Amino acid sequence: MPLSPDQKAEIAAAREQSTPTRRPTVAALEDILYEALPVLDHGFVRVVDYMGDDAAVVQAARVSYGKGTRRISEDAGLINYLMRHRHTTPFEMCEIKYHVKLPIFVARQWIRHRTANVNEYSARYSILDNEFYLPAPEHLGVQSTANRQGRGEALTGAEARRVMELLKEDAERTYAHYEDMLNEGEDGKPRDPGRQGLARELARMNLTLNFYTQWYWKTDLHNLLHFLSLRADPHAQYEIRVYAEAMLDTLRRWVPITYDAFCQYRMGGLHLSAKGLDVVKRLLAGEHVEQKASGLSPREWREMMAALGRTS
């Protein structure tokens, strides 16, 4: 289970508390504050704190004292302008903190985004739970021939069953060895009084990368948008993409105007190179343009044609 009964009780108690504040709050995000949103088989994402809202972005851009008398449509127009022209500092005025439970291999990919404050569960001090990620059969993809860092069609039949058995057996065996090396019971006393246990910081190195870890991850809105633009993209690895999709929903609740602008100009838009823009102008003029004469690489050409809904 993603959460133990004690953890669920702790979250329920936190959600029952209410603290008066003069700071802006967002009702839609408050509705899910502290709540664990399930991801994968044992993981979750939950918002534990935030600062600012759409009005804070507008306030920073206008350097004003408050919301004033401007209409929502004017705020939306300004945020659209900021997003369209890639102005970043107004979005840095808002911050959000997540508690995330995720497989170690996903965490190692995630941590490449260095513009956040991170504090991870330490297996030097604590014992990791016996929880590991096993992909659903439809996500057991073969190595892609077109993308060196991606997967292709799913394995099927006996080969898929064999891979699932290997993943499960390896994780179960390494955890059994981990417990054996620790030689530590739930009460903290040795399971086998006749021998000493290995230090936790050493015993952990035997575990496979599909075991779960946890961390608190705090970032500003600008860097969250950058993270989501890469990790919620259809080309991102499935296991990190589902976390990004869960976080997209928290973004929608937190800053709905910014969310709409982000979907319009970043997630649903296309950034063209100078050569790409020239190709579009030539196509609009009725000229027949082929990849070899476009000045674009085959990959950039394919990506642009796909975005334009053209086969060539």
> Residues with catalytic annotation?
231
Give the closest residue to 296 by CA, choosing from 263, 312, 273.
273
User: Are residues 140 and 162 in contact, defined by beta-carbon separation less than 8 angstroms?
Assistant: no
User: Are residues 115 and 219 in contact, defined by beta-carbon separation less than 8 angstroms?
Assistant: yes
Other residues' Cβ atoms within 10 Å of the Cβ of residue 84: 13
Q: Which residue has the tokens 């099927």?
A: 156
Crossing angle between the packed helical segments 274-284 and 298-308, to the nearest 10 degrees: 50
**H-helix or E-strand spanning residue 107:** helix 104-110
Other residues' Cβ atoms within 10 Å of the Cβ of residue 54: 25
- Sequence-ordered list of residues with C-beta below 8 angstroms from that of 251, at least 6 positions apart, any chain: 224, 225, 228, 258, 259, 262
**Distance between CA atoms of 118 and 97, rounded to whole angstroms?**
10
**Distance between CA atoms of 97 and 100, rounded to whole angstroms?**
10
